[in-house]
Amino acid sequence: MHMRGKYIQIGMIGIVCVGLFLGCASKSVDINNDGLPDIVQLRSLYLEPGIYVVLSEGKNPDGSIKYGEPKKIVSSGIISDIKVFDYNSDGDHDIIYRTALAGGPSNYVLLGNGDGTFKDPLKLGKEFDFFKAEEGGG
């Protein structure tokens, strides 16, 4: 989902995308396996573009979810798309992303550690079809 507006709604979570230029895609998933939704965000047209993770930090007294500061996990290249699902079937969410470079698109996977952190990016082979990759697994 690519957004050019300032606000999108994912389930019960409101996510505000603010920047000089707005190009934002967000996905709500439990990255750190604490039972609360976290946010994976692609900021493609920001002053500091990249892939960010915002982890939940428990609940506020009113029952709403408290979030920490966004943490940039990928900052290199021009990232055009992301998908979040359990790519390697280990029970942890992984992030697949596509870069748009002059030599053609390249696909990478960040394998999740289950605690909100990820291993270094691995480049996927040319046979990997980004658009046919299954989302929502895990």
Answer whether 0.85 is exceeded by the pTM: no
Question: Which of 22-26, 90-94, 98-102, 130-134 is predicted most confidently?
Answer: 90-94
Confidence band, pLDDT 50/70/90 cuts, at residue 90:
very high
pLDDT in tens, 18-73: 443 456 778 899 999 999 999 998 887 666 788 999 999 999 999 999 999 999 99
CB 127 within 8 A of CB 106: no
Supply the pLDDT for residue 110. 96
Question: How far is CA 89 from each of CA 31, 49, 68, 94, 111, rounded to the nearest angstrom?
Answer: 14, 29, 27, 9, 10
77: left (phi over 0), alpha (psi -120 to 50) or beta: left
Question: How far is CA 79 from each of CA 58, 95, 99, rounded to the nearest angstrom?
Answer: 30, 12, 4
Supply the pLDDT for residue 77. 65
Phi first, then psi: give them for residue 129, nearest 5 degrees: -105, 100
